Amino acid sequence: MKGIYDNIVRESRGARGLFIWTDCDREGEHIGSEIERAARKGNAQIQVKRAKFNNLERAYVLGLYFVDCRHIIHAAQHPVLLDYRQAAAVNARIELDLRIGSAFTRFQTLTLQQRIVKIGEEKLIISYGFLPKKESD
């Protein structure tokens, strides 16, 4: 991903504008904000807009299927700003997933370790996450 990031930074240096065409959902807004951040690193003055469209609909005319592009053309002609609230919501969800997942992993590890029986002289250690290294390691 660093190569993509570096490419966006490099290409934005000579650009006046950036048009983002990611999916129009929260994750798309989040990705768009990450793209914008990279572009602004290369060019703080770059104008950033995004296309807002719903889907690619197929139309059936005279026995043939084709893609109805009217909403795409409308999105290109009426760009909008990124919705930073939606991007922030994705950031919050990512942070919560990491924190809750980490706490639950530690809880699982401690609970299951108490239930492990010895095999021979060794006690098996089960971990569903990272445990601190022993100083002897």
Per-residue pLDDT of 58-84, as tens digits, reads: 665 666 666 667 788 888 999 999 999
Residue 20 scores a pLDDT above 70: yes
Among 4-13, 79-88, 93-102, where is mean pLDDT lowest?
93-102
Among 22-31, 76-85, 106-115, where is mean pLDDT lowest?
106-115
Among 33-42, 56-65, 97-106, where is mean pLDDT lowest?
56-65
**94 Cβ partners below 8 Å, 6+ apart?**
none
Q: What local confidence, expressed as pLDDT, does residue 72 receive?
A: 81
Provide the pLDDT confidence category of residue 137 given band limits of 50, 70 and 90: very low
Burial class (CB in 10 A: 0-12, 13-18, 19+), 98: exposed
Cα torsion 93, 96, 102, 108 to 10°: value is -100
Q: Where are the domains of the chain?
A: 83-131
Among 7-11, 79-83, 105-109, where is mean pLDDT lowest?
105-109
- pLDDT average, residue stretch 90-103: 89
Quick count: other Cβ atoms within 10 Å of Cβ 53?
18
Provide the pLDDT confidence category of residue 42 given band limits of 50, 70 and 90: very high
- pLDDT average, residue stretch 97-112: 81
- 47, 77 in Cβ contact below 8 A? no
- Between CA 31 and CA 87 the distance in angstroms is 8
What is the pTM assigned to this prediction? Answer: 0.67
